[in-house]
Amino acid sequence: MLGMYDAAEQEKHESLKSTACFLTDYSVALLTCGTTTIRIEKNVERIAQAYGMHVEITILPLHIMLTLWDADRTHSYANSQKIKGGGLNFYLITQLSRLSWEILSKQMPLDQSRQEFQRLLAKPRLNKWLVLLLVGLANASFCHLFQGDWASMAIVFIATIDGFYLKNKLHGDWHWDIRITTLISAFAAAAISCAGFVFHIGDTPDVALATSVLFLVPGIPFINSVSDLIHGHYICFLSRCIHATVLTICLSLGLCLALLIMNVSL
């Protein structure tokens, strides 16, 4: 009887451990992609419910701490993991959220859930050259939205793809600090957009200059920080808000430095 009891306890422990590790990996993936803390909480609670367990999760700016309990709260397993570096990925956020609903509705076994999770993580992102083109067109559209002429739109397009390529190269390939990368990319884009002033191209060079660095504005961190504030995640709110503010300052410094070197006065 004692041996059977020990075996049952061991099996329960292994089940808690496996599920807790999966939920921690799942939470880290969501947070790395740039989602809000409230979405992580809801998705993780949904998956825990599917497996008849209770979960308590603490989300910090650089760590996830998770404790999983069995149905009658007699056994628990705690796990923590550091957040990995990564960029925004709205497609993956959507797919991971959908996975949580599928696990609940289909009562998906844990092994199958992890396999599906790994499959989603392994999916390649959009082609970087396509993204570069789309970002350039988007920023040129912003220029047009603010009454920029076609010459200014062309300048903004060129400045954006150069600045965005430099950002991806410095931060993505060479792993430079994101703050230094933002400053350098803003300087490069703003310096190129000063062509309208230097060579008297177009009638709205001021609009071209103002919109050339919009691709670097950290809008998502600002939005996520407000969501964290609303839902009471004050530590994450402060972290994301400060991080976004620092990036905005770096962007502004790069812009001012370009104006100074190019001797452009507005």
DSSP codes of every residue in 106-169:
HT--HHHHHHHHHHHHHSPPPPHHHHHHHHHHHHHHHHHHTT--HHHHHHHHHHHHHHHHHHII
> Residue 113: which residues within 8 A CB-CB, separation 6 or more?
22, 47, 99, 103
pLDDT at 265 over 90: no
Confidence bin at 4 (pLDDT 50/70/90) = very low
CA-to-CA dists, residue 6 to 9, 10, 68, 74, 132, angstroms: 5, 6, 20, 15, 58
- Span 245-262, average pLDDT: 96
CA pair distance 33, 30, nearest whole angstrom = 5
**pLDDT single digits (tens) 30-88:** 999 999 999 999 999 999 999 999 999 999 988 999 999 998 888 889 999 998 777 78
Mean pLDDT of the chain: 92
**pLDDT single digits (tens) 105-164:** 999 999 999 999 999 999 988 899 999 999 999 999 999 999 999 999 999 999 999 999
Q: How much is the pLDDT for 2?
A: 40
Q: How much is the pLDDT for 75?
A: 84
Q: How much is the pLDDT for 10?
A: 79
> Quick count: other Cβ atoms within 10 Å of Cβ 215?
22
Q: How much is the pLDDT for 186?
A: 97
- Span 252-261, average pLDDT: 96
Tell me which long-range contacts 111-118 makes (C-beta under 8 A, separation of at least 24): 113/22, 113/47, 114/22, 117/22, 117/25, 117/26, 117/29
Do you know the residue count of the chain?
A: 266
CA pair distance 151, 204, nearest whole angstrom = 8
Instruction: Give me the percent of the chain exceeding a pLDDT of 90.
Output: 82
CA pair distance 262, 68, nearest whole angstrom = 58
Q: Is the pTM for the entire model greater than 0.85?
A: yes
CA pair distance 248, 242, nearest whole angstrom = 10
3 state SS of 87: coil
Burial class of residue 23 in the structure, from the number of CB atoms within 10 Å of its CB (0-12 exposed, 13-18 middle, 19+ buried): buried
Confidence bin at 9 (pLDDT 50/70/90) = confident
What six digits make up the tokens of 194?
């000063």
Q: How much is the pLDDT for 6?
A: 65
- Span 7-22, average pLDDT: 85
Instruction: Give me the percent of the chain exceeding a pLDDT of 70.
Output: 97
- Span 198-206, average pLDDT: 92
What six digits make up the tokens of 259?
């104006």
Instruction: Give yes or no for a contact between 192 and 212, defined as CB atoms under 8 angstroms apart.
Output: yes
> Residue 176: which residues within 8 A CB-CB, separation 6 or more?
170
